[in-house]
Amino acid sequence: MMKKKITERDIGLKDGKDISLSHLKGKYDQKMPEVPLEFNHHDFEFNGSMVIHLPKENVRWYPKMEDVIYAMKDGEIRGVTYPMYFAPTDKYLFNLMIFANQEVDVVELKYWSYGHNELYSLGVQEFSDNMRLGTPISPVELGKV
C-alpha cells in the first residue's frame, strides 16, 4: 500500500520553518492564525487540560494548522487549541486547556474546520479543576468529524 506523500503543510512547516513544534524546540516563533471566536482565559478561576487526538479513521480530512478545537459552555468559549504535529507518534495533537468558574463542570467540545468553515460537535467532556487527561504519547481519542 502506497503511503500519502507528506507535504510541508502536513508536518507544520511554512517556508521550511517548523511552526507546529516550535514551542517544544524553541527554534522559531510559532505563528498561529487568529481565533475566529473571542476568548479571554483571565475571566475564569479554574483550569484543567487534555491532549486530544482525532484518529485518521474518525476524520474526513487531515487537520490543517488553522483548524481549532474549542471547549464551550452554553455558547461561551472555555478553551481554544490548534493542532500540532507530534513526530514521535506521527500524530496531530490538540493540547487543550479548559477554563471554568466552578471546580466541576461539563463542557462541549467543538471542532472548527478552517477549510470547510464549519463547526462540528465532538461531544461533551466533564471538567474538574487541575484535571490532566491524556499525554502526547497516550492522548485522548475523540469521535468522528
**pLDDT of 112-125, one tens digit each?**
888 778 888 899 99
Measured distance CA(19)–CA(65) in Å, rounded: 9
pLDDT at site 127: 94
> Residue 127's closest CA among 79, 69, 76?
79
User: pLDDT by residue (tens digit) across 36-46?
Assistant: 566 788 889 99
Arithmetic mean of pLDDT, 93-98? 94
Helices (H), 36-111: none
For 80, the 3-state DSSP assignment is: strand
User: pLDDT by residue (tens digit) across 26-72?
Assistant: 333 444 444 456 678 888 999 999 999 988 776 666 677 788 899 99
Arithmetic mean of pLDDT, 131-142? 93
Task: Enter the C-alpha cell of residue 61.
Answer: 480530512
DSSP 41: G
pLDDT at site 107: 95
Instruction: Indicate the fold that domain 36-141 takes in CATH.
Output: Immunoglobulin-like (2.60.40)
pLDDT at site 37: 61
**What rounded mean pLDDT belongs to the chain?**
76
Query: What sign does the dihedral 26-46-36-144 (CA atoms) show?
Result: positive
